[in-house]
Structures are given as structure tokens and as C-alpha cells.
Amino acid sequence: MLFIFRQLRRLELRKRGGQYFLYAFGEIVLIVVGILIALQIQNWNEGRRDRIKERYLLEELVDNLNQEAERLEQGLVGINGQIEAVEVIEAYFKERSYTKDDLEKHLSYYLGSFSFQPISSAYDTMKSTEVGFSSRSMKAELIDYYERWHPPLQFLVQAHREINSTETRPFLMKHLETVTRAERAVIKNVEDPDFRESLLGLNVIFKNLFPNIRTHVEDLLNKNRELLALVEQELERM
């Protein structure tokens, strides 16, 4: 009889052990599922925050591109005026088809500086932080715009600035009374041979430089519009 009781007790203990194991296993499953759900929620929240940051950055990029396009268009007007001045100066001395008054009016544009200051706060933020763009193709276009299309124009602008410092300013000080862009440059002595030689020397330089600058401005403006269209499409997709 005692033997039977012992066997029954062992079966009971085994049954309880199996129930405890199932209970413990169920608890572990619930814990794991809870952790996975919490991680999923955390990832969803992080992804949502990233999309909000990305949208903000895209909107800033649209603003940057629009402002830069406006500057490029203004610069294009100025550089076209300088190219026209080159033609007037050349024609004045070769054909005398323009008057001294025409020459002085065009010199006010001719002696001005072409400036270009990129607007790249959104791009700089992208480079300096972990905030990026989900569209790889758009990101590649963005890098291409700022890293490949900007530098050539910036180089030409710097070259123009150096020419103005070493060539234009000494010419201005020596041969002109005043220079007012809104009106005209006042020439001290238009018949001075040194004035003619110095101005035609500048003309040789600017005859090549100004059209080159215009080409780069037009190219950059076209790329600006293409990139702007991509960014606006990406904003609509989000």
C-alpha cells in the first residue's frame, strides 16, 4: 500500500512540474512578445521622428533653392549687361559706332563685380548631422548639385574678384573720376592712349571671362530647377 501511495505522489509531482513548466514557458513567451512589440513601437516612433526631420529639411531645401535661383537670375541680368559692355567698348574703339556717353554708361556695369554666394544651410545640416533623405537618387542629385556644379562658378567668381583687385581697380583709379552704377562712369580723358590701351586690355580678359560665367550661371540655374522639382515631388510623396 505504501508503495502505491509513493507512486501516486510521484505522478502528482510530475504533473505539477509539467504545469509549472508550461506556466513558465508561457510567461517567457509573453515577455518576449512584449519586448518585440515595444521595440516595434520604438522603431515606429523613431521612423516617424526621422520623417518629420526629413520633411523639415526638405522644406528648408526648397527655400534654399528658391533663394539661390533668385540670386542666379539677378546675376544673369548683371552678367548680360557686362557682356553687352564688352561689345560696346570694342565697337567704340574700332568703329566709333557709339558715343562717349554710351561708353561711360556701359563702363558702370563693366567695372562691377559679379558675386555668387551659395545658400546651402539644408545641405550643410545633412552633412553635419545624422538626418538624411530616404530617397537615395535625390540625395545623389543633391550632392552632385552642391559638390560638382557649384565649385566651377565659385572659381570663376573668385577669378573675377582677383582681376578686379589687380587690374580693374588700378584702371579705375587712374582713368576715371567716379563710377556710379545707377548712372555712368566719368572718364578723365577718353582720348588718352593709355586709357584706350588699358581698357582694351581688360576687354580681352573679360571677353572670355564674362561669357564663361554666364554659361555656368545658366547651367547651375537649370540644375537648380531640376533639383527643386525632385524635392517637391518627394514632399508630395511623403
pLDDT tens digits, 132-181: 677 788 888 999 999 999 999 999 999 999 998 898 888 888 898 865 55
Return the percentage of the chain with pLDDT > 70, whole number: 77
Q: Please state the length of the chain.
A: 238
DSSP 190: T
Cell numbers that stand for 115 in this block:
558675386
Give 64-71 contacts, CB < 8 A, sequence gap 24+.
Answer: 64/119, 64/120, 64/121, 64/122, 64/123, 65/119, 65/224, 65/227, 65/228, 65/231, 66/228, 67/119, 68/118, 68/119, 68/224, 69/221, 69/224, 69/225, 69/228, 71/116, 71/117, 71/119
Predicted confidence (pLDDT) at residue 13 exceeds the cutoff of 50: no
pLDDT tens digits, 34-68: 676 766 766 665 556 667 788 888 999 999 999 99
